[in-house]
Amino acid sequence: MRLCVGTAKGIIVLDPERGGLPLMVLADPASVWCMTQDCEEPETIYAGSIHNIHAGSARGKGSLARSNDAGRSWQDVTPRYARDEEVWALAAAPDIRGQVFVGTSHARIFRSDDAGHSFHECSSFLKLPGRERWSFPPPPHIPHVRSIAFDHREPDTIYIGVEEGGIFRSRDRGESFEPANQNIYPDIHSVMIDPDDSQRVYATTGRGLYISPDAGASWRFVKGLSRSYTIPILVGQSRDAAVYTAAAAGPPPTWSMGPVGADALMFRSSDRGESFRPLAAGDGSTHAMRGMVMSLQEDSSGVLLAALSDGSLLRIDDSEENIAIIAEKLPPAYDFVVLPNN
C-alpha cells in the first residue's frame, strides 16, 4: 500500500510498509489542503491548495492540480476564472469518470465533466438567500466551501458545507441548491452521508458533531465528546458501520500556543453516532495528541488511516484498537489518498 499525502509543503508519496520513508517529495503543487481520486481511474488524483497562516501553508501559482500517474507528476488545472480562489474542498463523483466538484474561497463551486480540462461554475449557489451574511471569523472574513459530500446511493444528491454559512443540498448535481441548516451551528467542517442510510447525515463543526436523521431537514447536537472542535468524520464500511471522528480542544490558532498543542482525541461510535468513546491504545490508555486529525480514511482491507497536523500518519487496527505511527516528522499533513497497487 502506498499513500499520496498532501502537506503544507507539497506532495509526499510513501509506503508505510517500508518504514514510512518518503518515496517521492514534490513541492509543486504547494500547500495541499484537500485531495480526491477519480472513481474509475484511481491513479488520477486532484489536489487543492490554500494560503492559511494558521495551517502553515503558502499557496503556489495555481490552486488546483491534477496527476494522471498516481502523484508522480502534476499539471495545473485551476479554472481560468478562479485563479484568485483557494481550493478548500474536492469531491470526485462516485459514478461518473472524470467528474469532479471543486469548492473554493468566496464560497464558490465549480464542476468539471472532463477530468479538469474545462470547468463551469454552479451559478445557482451564488443566488442562495442569506449568502451575504456568510463570513469567516479571521480577516478578511471570506467564507469558503469546506466540504462536498456525495450520497453514494443517490449520486445526484450532494451536500455542501460552508465555513461559515451552513449546509446546503443539491438533488440535481449542482444545478440547484436548498438550505439544510435547521438547528446546526453554521461553522461546517465536514459532511458525510451514512453509506447504509441516505437519510442519516453527519456533520462536524467548530462546536461539535451533529447528526440529521432526515437528510438535512433537521439536526441534533451529539453529546458525549470531551472536545469541541471537530473536523473529520468517517462511517466505516467494513467495521460494522462504526463512526469515527476527532476533536481538538480549540480552533487552529490555539494549536501552537500551548504545550499540549491541539490537545486532540479520536472518538469511536459503535451505534451509528448515538454515543462515542475515546479511541484507546491496546493497553487501554487514552492520550491526547499534539496534532489534530485532519483526514480519516479506510483502505480496502478495513484499516483506518489518519493524517495529522503535526506531520504524522496513523494506522488504527480496530480489532485491537492499536494506534500505530506509520510516518512522522512530515510537514503538516491535511489529506491523503490510497494509491492502487502496482
Nearest to 180 by CA among 157, 208, 207, 155: 157
224 or 336, higher pLDDT? 336
Domains of the chain: 30-44+79-331 (2.130.10.10)
Q: What is the pLDDT of residue 239?
A: 54
Helix (H/G/I), strand (E/B), else coil: 124: helix
- Number of neighbours of residue 185 by Cβ within 10 angstroms: 16
pLDDT at 60 over 90: no
Q: Hunting for cell 467564507 — which residue is that? A: 143
In this predicted model, which residue has the larger pLDDT, 239 or 41?
41
**pLDDT over 80 (residue 116):** yes
3-state secondary structure (DSSP) of residue 274: coil
Mean predicted confidence (pLDDT) in 190-218: 97
Mean pLDDT score, 31-49:
96
185 vs 1: which has the higher pLDDT? 185
What average pLDDT does the segment 183-190 reach? 97
Residue 149 pairs in a beta bridge with 159
Looking at residue 78, what is its pLDDT?
Answer: 95
- Give the rounded percent of residues in the chain with a pLDDT score beyond 70: 93
* Region class of 106: left (phi > 0), else alpha (psi between -120 and 50), else beta: left
Contact 65, 59 (CB under 8 A): no
As a whole number, the mean pLDDT across the chain is 91
DSSP code string of 149-187: EE-SSSTT-EEEEEETTEEEEESSTTS--EE--TT--S-
Q: What is the pLDDT of residues 133-169, one digit of tens each?
A: 999 988 889 999 999 999 999 999 999 999 999 999 9
Q: What gap in Å lies between CA 184 and CA 342, rounded to an integer?
A: 44
Q: Is a pLDDT exceeding 80 seen at residue 301?
A: no
Q: Which neighbouring-strand residues pair with 92?
A: 100
User: How confident is the model over 69-82, as pLDDT tens digits?
Assistant: 999 999 999 998 88
